[in-house]
Amino acid sequence: MSEEGPEEEPRQAVVLDYLPHGRADDDRPQYQKPALAHALGVRDFGLYELVLETGESPTIGREIAIDPPDDAIEEVREIDYDDLSGGARSELEHAVRDVVERDQERFVEFYNEAGPITLRLHQLNLLPGIGDKLRDNILDAREREPFQSLDDLQERISGLHDPEGTIVERILQEVREEDVKYKLFAREAEPEQ
């Protein structure tokens, strides 16, 4: 057994769209355009354009390693929402909802550990539909006993009808809008050099 720590798992992304003929705005001749895929980061909710190796055609909804990249990927580029294809945009909400459903523990942990951002603003207030009263109810309930699941949260907090949908809505807002001041779930896009 080695003395080193456990190997980190590769960062994964969900394929939102497959573009076998590249981007329409690419001026190169058709035969020179690489096949692309648009993808959503599973942990960071970043948006990525994957340049695919010749002959690769990933299916929509497939999870693929982006760091280090899967053998099917030649290059990974970070992109903005405006750079997504129409097909990728239409798949986005479904993909976010699927990630939240599969990793509920992570989002229950958010409800259990969310804290103040400033003296006047709390992370919970950034979630759609959560005002001061609902925030205080969540804080009081989690102080008595941490939430065990999103269903537990919904049962214990009157007025919070869809904690999963609330998270999905916030993630979509963060992914779609560049000017969101505080990001809870989605990574900030790296500025272009």
56-69 residue pLDDT tens: 889 999 999 999 99
Query: Same fold for the domain at 11-85 and the one at 103-176?
Result: no
- C-alpha 135/C-alpha 133 separation (Å) is 5
pLDDT of 178 higher than 80: no
What is the token pair recorded at 90?
A: 């239409």
128 pLDDT band (50/70/90 cuts)? very high
Confidence class of residue 92 from pLDDT cuts 50, 70 and 90?
very high
Q: What separation, in Å, do the N-terminal and C-terminal C-alpha atoms of the chain show?
A: 43
Q: Pull the structure tokens for residue 2.
A: 């080695």
At 188, is the pLDDT very low, low, confident or very high (cuts 50, 70, 90)?
A: low
User: Domains of the chain: which residue ranges?
Assistant: 11-85, 103-176
pTM: 0.88
Q: What average pLDDT score do residues 145-165 get?
A: 95
**Which of these ranges, 10-14, 53-57, 64-68, 88-92, has the smallest mean pLDDT?**
53-57
pLDDT for res 142: 96
Under 8 Å between Cβ of 181 and 171 = no
How far CA 150 is from CA of 86, 157, 161, 168, in Å, comes to 31, 11, 10, 13
pLDDT band (50, 70, 90) for residue 154? very high
| CATH code of domain 103-176 | 1.10.150.280
Taking the C-alpha atoms of residue 86 and residue 98, their distance in angstroms, rounded to an integer, is 19
Cβ burial, residue 102 (10 Å; 0-12/13-18/19+): exposed
In CATH terms, 11-85 corresponds, of 3.30.160.620, 3.40.50.300, 2.60.40.10, 2.40.50.140, to 2.40.50.140
Q: What is the pLDDT of residue 1?
A: 43
Residue 2 pLDDT > 90: no
